[in-house]
């Protein structure tokens, strides 16, 4: 097993979280377009804007989580709950950012909520799949991260 430096482990953790957030939001935005759409009229630009916004917000929210030592090295279920909350909040905020100038009266609250819910469900699925992929011989507790166990442990310790 290769030993990874703390700095690289933290960088990989930030990248993993931001990448998954961007992907989940992108996927959720395209799904929110509904069934009767085809590839030509999917909201590609909007989905990309939301994905980039969600990745940036994920980095900011992860930095806040890292700043509070109590929120960093959590057991599986609390860690997953924090990730789900961050995904929902990040997705909802990304919708407001991507909409341009935020106006409460014209903002599409239901669309933003639908995208946030779909992204959060996909984050739940990713977390549960990551847990099920943990090696059984690994003495460390399971995590909702898709990083290798040693890298994730180094990042959050």
Contact 147, 13 (CB under 8 A): yes
Residue 56 pLDDT greater than 80, yes or no: yes
Residue from 149, 121, 123 nearest 135 by CA: 149
Question: CA–CA separation, 12 vs 76, rounded Å?
Answer: 19
User: Of residues 38 and 148, which shows the higher confidence score?
Assistant: 148
What region, left, alpha or beta, does residue 140 occupy, with left being phi > 0 and alpha being psi -120 to 50 degrees? beta
Q: Which pLDDT tens digit goes with each residue over 114-138?
A: 888 988 999 999 888 887 765 555 5
- What is the mean predicted confidence (pLDDT) over 8-29? 89
Supply the pLDDT for residue 12.
92
Supply the pLDDT for residue 70.
73
Contact 66, 9 (CB under 8 A): no
Residue 38 pLDDT greater than 70, yes or no: no
- What is the number of other CB atoms lying within 10 angstroms of the CB of residue 1? 6
Residue from 51, 52, 59 nearest 16 by CA: 59
- What is the mean predicted confidence (pLDDT) over 28-44? 66
Question: CA–CA separation, 137 vs 47, rounded Å?
Answer: 40
Highest average pLDDT, of 19-23, 43-47, 111-115, comes from: 19-23
This model's pTM is above 0.95: no
């Amino acid at each position: 097993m290769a030993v990874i430096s703390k700095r690289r482990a933290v960088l990989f953790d930030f990248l993993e979280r931001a990448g998954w957030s961007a992907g989940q939001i992108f996927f959720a935005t395209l799904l929110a377009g509904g069934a009767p759409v085809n590839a030509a009229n999917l909201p590609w630009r909007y989905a990309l804007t939301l994905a980039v916004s969600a990745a940036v917000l994920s980095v900011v929210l992860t930095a806040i989580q890292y700043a509070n030592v109590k929120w960093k090295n959590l057991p599986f279920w609390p860690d997953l709950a924090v990730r789900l909350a961050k995904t929902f909040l990040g997705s909802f905020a990304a919708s407001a950012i991507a909409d341009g100038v935020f106006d409460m009266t014209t903002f599409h609250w239901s669309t933003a909520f639908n995208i946030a819910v779909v992204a959060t469900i996909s984050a739940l699925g990713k977390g549960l799949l990551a847990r099920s992929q943990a090696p059984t011989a690994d003495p460390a507790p399971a995590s909702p991260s898709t990083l290798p166990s040693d890298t994730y442990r180094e990042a959050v310790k």
